[in-house]
Structure 1
Amino acid sequence: MATDVSVRIADVALEADARPLAERLAADAVAGKLADQDATLWGPDAESEASIRLSWTTLHESSRPLLAEIDALRAELQAEGLDRIVLAGMGGSSLAPEVITGTAGVPLTVLDTTDPGQVADALAGDLENTVLVVSSKSGSTVETDSHRRIFEAAFREDGIDPVSRIIVVTDPGSPMEKAANEAGYRKVFTADPNVGGRYSALTAFGLVPAGLAGADIAALLDDAAAAFTAVRADDADNPAIQLAAAMSAAHSKGAEKVVFADTGSGIAGFGDWVEQLIAESTGKNSTGLLPVVVESPGAPGFADAGSDATAVAVGPGVDAASISTNGPLGGQFLLWEFATALAGRLLGINPFDQPDVEAAKKAARALLDAPTDDGQATPVLSEGAVEVHSAGDWLSGANDLAEALRAFVDAAPQAGYLAVQAYLDRLDDASATVLRTELAKRTGLQTTFGWGPRFLHSTGQYHKGGHQNGTFLQITGDAEEDLQVPDRPYTLSGLQRAQALGDGQVLADHGRPVLRLHLTDRAAGLVQLVKAVQELEARQ
C-alpha cells in the first residue's frame, strides 16, 4: 500500500511471529474502529477512560481552525518585536513542541525543569522580547505554575506588564483557564479535553508554542493527514498494525525493552517524545514496553540488543535494527500513536490511563508541606564531591563510591534495566548523559537516562507500573543559586529536592533499589562520578 510512512521488519523470525498478530488485528477491523474512536477496543475496564481519550485520531482535521488563530497572534507578536518564545510545560506539553521546533530549526526555550540554574538562565534572556507560553492540561502542574509565578515577577521587576506577555494553553474548565481569564492574560487557548497529554502533539499543546516560534504547523497536519489513510486501513500491511504486532510479538518472547536510535530521519529528538508515549501507555499491571533512547546506532544497547530488547531505527534501516520506521514528523506522530494504542490491545492493557504517575507527585507534595529528612539527608558515605544515599539494606557494607556503584549494578536482575535520573540542569550539566553510555557498556544492561523531574511525566509511569526489574540511580546536586517561587513556601531547589526524594521513596516502597548520589560541587562531582563508572569492571 502506498503511504508517506513506512515500517520495515528486518528480523525474519520477528516478522514471522508478528504476522499472525497483524492478520488478527486486520481481521478484527481494529485500526478502522480506532480511527472511528471505538472505546470498546481495550475491554470493559478501559472503556470509560477510552471514551474520553480518542479525539487524537482525527486531529489532522479538527486542529485546522487553530492555524489561523496562531498565525494571527504570531503576526501581532512579531509586529511588537516579541520574537523570543519561552515554553513552560511538562510531559506532553513540552516534548512535542520541542521536537517540532527542533526539526524545523526554529528557536524555542523549553522549561520542563525545577532546576534553579536552568530557570535563571531562561530569565537572563532578553525579557524585552520575550513571550511566555504557559502550558498545562490539568491547569495545576506544580512546575509550570512555579515558572509562571517566577516569570510574572520578573516581568514586573523589569517594568513589563505580565498580562501582555503570557499566553496560556490548557483544557477548558481547568483552574489555569479560570485564573488566566481573571488575570487578563494576552491569549488563552483551550485544547480538546478528549485527548490525553501524551497523544496531544497535534492539539494546541503542540501547535501553539511551535507555531508561535515559527514552525510550519500546517505542513505538520498535512503530513499527518497523508498518513491517516494508511494507519486506519484494516490490512495486515498497515504500517501501524505491523509496528504494533512486531513490538507485541517481541514482548511475548521476553523482549520488553524497545531501543531507539535515529538513523538519519531528519527529526530532532523524536526518541524523547516517543519515550513518553510508549512508557506511559504500556507500562502498567507489571507489564509493558520500556523505551531506551540511545545516542546512535552504534551505541551500547542498540547494536548489541539482546533477547530482552528490540532495536528500532527511526529513519533508514540499519543492519542492527530489528524494526525501522520512516516518514515525516506529522506522519510519525500518527504512526506511533496508532501503533501504541493497538499494542495496548495486544498486551491486554488500557493505553490511556497512568495509574502510577500520581504517587510520586503526592510524595513530593507531602515533603513540601511537611519537610522531613527521614534519614535521606544523611549520607551512607561521602567521597570527594559525592555523597552516597540509599534506602533499604541492599547497599550495606559499601566503603567507597566504587563499591556503592558495584552494589548498585549487582542489585539489577539479569534481564533488568538501569535508570539514570539526573535532577540537574540539562543544559549546564549535559555531561551527565555520558553515564548512560558508560553504564550500558560496562554492565550489558539496558540503561535509560532521564532528566528529573521531566521523566516523572514520561517514564515515571513505567518505573512503578511496568516490569518490576529496574534499578535506579538518582543524581542530585547543590545549586549555586536558588529562586524563590513567589507566594509559595518553597524555592525551586526545595521543590527539586522534594521531587527526587519523593519519587525515590515510592520506588523503594515498590521494593526497587535506589541509589542517590548528591553532588556537593556539580562540575567536580560529575567528573568524579563519570570516572568511577568508567572504572567499573564489566559485569559477569
Structure 2
Amino acid sequence: MEVSYREEEVASAASSVAGRLTAHGVPERLAGGDPTLWGEDAEAEAAAGLGWLALPRSSRELLPELGELAGRARAAGLTNVVLAGMGGAALAAEVICDTCDVPLTVLDTTDPAQVRRALAERLDDTVVVVASKSGTTVETDALLRVYEAAFAEAGLDPAGRFVVVTDPGSPLEKRAVEAGHALVTARPDVPPVGGRYAALSAYGLVPAALAGADVARLLDEAEEVLPLLSRDTGNPGLDLGAALGGAALAGRDKLVLEDQLSAINGLPHWIEQLVAESTGKQGRGILPVVAADPNGTGDELVVAIESDVGDVRVDGPLGAQFLVWEYATAIAALLLEVNPFDQPDVAESKENTTELLTYPDLPAGAPAFTDGPVEVYGAVRATDLPGLFAEVLHAIPGDGYLAVMAYLDRLAAFDAPVPVGADFEQMTDAWMMADAATLRALLALRTDRPVTFGWGPRFLHTTGQYHKGGPQNGVFLQITGEVAEDVAVPGRPYTLGRLQLAQALGDLGALETRGRPAVRLHLTDRAAGVARLLEAVQEA
C-alpha cells in the first residue's frame, strides 16, 4: 500500500501537518484506538466507533459462519443475492462485489419502480440480506416487509430466504429470531464500529460472501497494512490523512476522486460517504466529487486510485484501501477539529419524514411554473427550465458547489429504446440521454464549480450530512417523479412512493431551515421529464 504526492504544494502542506501529528504521538495513539484524540466532547462516540481498527483480525472469526451461509444458499439454489441496506450497510458490499465481478443487487432505495424491477428478477432463486445496525432504518424495514409479502404470495417460505445482519439487541434482531431468519450479529466482546467504517465487518462481508466474493483475501490485504498504521514514517494512512486535512486547511476542500484506470470498481462512491459524513459538520468539511473531471480551480485536491492524473496517488488492494481511507479520514477530521464518528445533522431529515407520513396528504405546495412534464417548486425568478438552470448555476458561490439529488429509479435509463441493430456505443448514447445522472455532466460543462449527483434516499446516508452540516456554500437541485405503479408496504400506513416523496420533502425542509437554496423539479412523466431536463440544460 503506497500513497505518493505528485504536487509540491500538497507535499509541503502534508509534511507540515504530519510533523505536528507525529510530535503528539497521533499515529500510534490512533492505531491503538485512543478515543481522546478528538477532544472531550467526542470521546464517548469515538470510544464506541473505533472498532474498525480491529476488524482485519476480529472479522476472521466470521469466516466459518460465512462459508456455512454461502454453502446453504447454494445448496438451496439461492444464487440471486439482494442486499437491502443503506449507507455503510450497502456501499462497501457493492464495491467488493463489483471488484470481484460477482453479481449483487443492491436495494438502497425506496423507489417503487426500482424495487418492482428487483422483485421481478428470479424471485425463486433469491436470498435477501437485510442489513441495519440500528435495526430501525425505515428503508430497510420497508424492503423486508415487501420481500416477505412477495415470497409468501409466490408460495415460497420466507424463513429460509433472509439473512439479517444487525447489532446485538436491535429490534431487527428480535424480529429475525421470531421469523426464523438466519442472523449474523456483531459480537458484543468486539469494540463497536460505526456504519461508514464497517466495510470489513459483517455488514460488508456477509452479502459479499453470499454473492461469491473472496472475503478472506480482503482481510489478508487489510491485515498486511495494519502494522504500518502505528508508524511515524512509511504510514500510508498518515500520508493520505495529512494530504486530505492539510489541503483542506489550505482551502483545497473539494476532493476530486479519480479511478478510471483502477481495477477496483466503485471505490469513490464508498469514499464519498466516508469522507462527507465524517468531516461535513460545524460548517466545515471536505466535499468528495465523484465521476467528474477536475476544473483546475484552487480549491480542488485530485486524488487518484492507481493513476498518475492526480495531486495524490493511492495504490493498493481493496482490503488495504478500505482500512487506509478510514484511518486517513479520522486523521483529516482531527485536523479539521470535528468528530469523525457522529452525524448530527442527519436526524432532522428522518424526523421530518416521519412527521410528514402522519399527514393525510403530503404538503407538496404549488409549482412556481411548469415546463412540459416538469413542475418547478421553489423561490425562483425564472419562468422556464433553461432560465432556471442559468439561475441556479449563477447562484453557486465562488467557493461553493451544486448538488443534484434525484429520487428516481437509477436503472430506468436501461429501458430507453435503442435503434434496431445498434452497436454498443449507440446503445450507450441512448441510455445516457435517458439517464437523470447525465444532468450532472451537462451542468458541469457550464460552471467551473463542482457538481455532485446523488440518488435519493441513498445520498441521505452518505453526503446528506455534508449538505446540511458542511460549509454554507451549496446550492441544491432536487428531482422527484410521479409514480406510475406503487408498491404497498405491508403493515405500514404508506406505500413506497409515499415514503419516497416524504423523504424528499423532509430533506428539502431540513435544507431550507438552514437557509440553503434549494429547488425541486417534479417530473409528471418520468421518462419525458428526464428528456426535457437534459434538453433544457443544453439551452441554458
Shorter-normalised TM-score: what interval?
over 0.9
Deviations 1:236-279 (A, max 9, x none): x4221111111122112211210111042211110110000000
How many percent of aligned residue pairs carry the same amino acid?
A: 53
2:55 is aligned, of 50, 53, 59, to 59
Counterparts of residues 371-410 of structure 1 (less than 5 Å): 371-374=360-363, 376-390=364-378, 393=379, 395=380, 397-410=381-394
1:148 is aligned, of 134, 144, 149, to 144
Give the Å deviation of 1:512: 0.9
Query: Could you say which residue in structure 2 is the equivalent of 1:426?
Result: 410
Query: Could you say which residue in structure 2 is the equivalent of 1:443?
Result: 447
Please give the alpha-carbon distance, in whole angstroms, between the structure 2 residues aligned to 1:153 and 1:440.
Answer: 43
1:527 is aligned, of 509, 531, 534, to 531
SS in 2 for 1:244: helix
Please give the alpha-carbon distance, in whole angstroms, between the structure 2 residues aligned to 1:44 and 1:234.
Answer: 25
| Aligned: 1:122 with 2:118 | yes
1:358 is aligned, of 330, 341, 347, to 347
Please give the alpha-carbon distance, in whole angstroms, between the structure 2 residues aligned to 1:422 and 1:245.
Answer: 34
Given residue 519 of structure 2, which amino acid in structure 1 is its aligned partner? L
Query: Could you say which residue in structure 2 is the equivalent of 1:220?
Result: 218
Given residue 377 of structure 1, which amino acid in structure 2 is its aligned partner? G
Please give the alpha-carbon distance, in whole angstroms, between the structure 1 residues aligned to 2:186 and 2:240.
Answer: 32
User: 5+ residue gaps in structure 1?
Assistant: none
Please give the alpha-carbon distance, in whole angstroms, between the structure 2 residues aligned to 1:226 and 1:479.
Answer: 49
Deviations 1:394-421 (A, max 9, x none): x1x3221122222222222111100000
User: 5+ residue gaps in structure 2?
Assistant: 414-433
Given residue 259 of structure 2, which amino acid in structure 1 is its aligned partner? D
1:313 is aligned, of 304, 320, 335, to 304
Change (3 A) 1:413 1:273: same
Give the Å deviation of 1:187: 3.2
Q: Number of aligned residue pairs: give it.
A: 518
Please give the alpha-carbon distance, in whole angstroms, between the structure 1 residues aligned to 2:177 and 2:232.
Answer: 45
Counterparts of residues 170-181 of structure 1 (less than 5 Å): 170-181=166-177
| Aligned: 1:42 with 2:38 | yes
1:473 is aligned, of 477, 483, 486, to 477
| Aligned: 1:15 with 2:3 | no
Does the aligned pair in 1 maintain the 2:247–2:253 contact within 8 Å? yes
TM-score by length of 1: 0.94
Query: Could you say which residue in structure 1 is the equivalent of 2:417?
Result: none
1:280 is aligned, of 277, 287, 292, to 277
Please give the alpha-carbon distance, in whole angstroms, between the structure 2 residues aligned to 1:152 and 1:451.
Answer: 25
2:311 is aligned, of 322, 346, 353, to 322
| Aligned: 1:229 with 2:227 | yes
| Aligned: 1:95 with 2:99 | no
Given residue 274 of structure 2, which amino acid in structure 1 is its aligned partner? L
Given residue 251 of structure 2, which amino acid in structure 1 is its aligned partner? G
Given residue 224 of structure 2, which amino acid in structure 1 is its aligned partner? A
Please give the alpha-carbon distance, in whole angstroms, between the structure 2 residues aligned to 1:493 and 1:293.
Answer: 28
Give the Å deviation of 1:373: 4.7
Please give the alpha-carbon distance, in whole angstroms, between the structure 2 residues aligned to 1:445 and 1:122.
Answer: 36
SS in 1 for 2:445: helix
Change (3 A) 1:501 1:193: farther
SS in 2 for 1:195: coil
Please give the alpha-carbon distance, in whole angstroms, between the structure 1 residues aligned to 2:412 and 2:361.
Answer: 29
1:200 is aligned, of 186, 191, 198, to 198
Greater mean alpha carbon deviation, residues 241-250 or residues 508-517 = 241-250
Please give the alpha-carbon distance, in whole angstroms, between the structure 1 residues aligned to 2:360 and 2:97.
Answer: 39
SS in 1 for 2:251: coil
Does the aligned pair in 2 maintain the 1:305–1:311 contact within 8 Å? no
SS in 1 for 2:405: strand
TM-score by length of 2: 0.94
Does the aligned pair in 1 maintain the 2:134–2:166 contact within 8 Å? yes
Query: Could you say which residue in structure 2 is the equivalent of 1:503?
Result: 507
SS in 1 for 2:52: helix
SS in 2 for 1:431: coil
Please give the alpha-carbon distance, in whole angstroms, between the structure 2 residues aligned to 1:78 and 1:240.
Answer: 38
Does the aligned pair in 2 maintain the 1:118–1:426 contact within 8 Å? yes
| Aligned: 1:454 with 2:458 | yes
Query: Could you say which residue in structure 1 is the equivalent of 2:332?
Result: 343
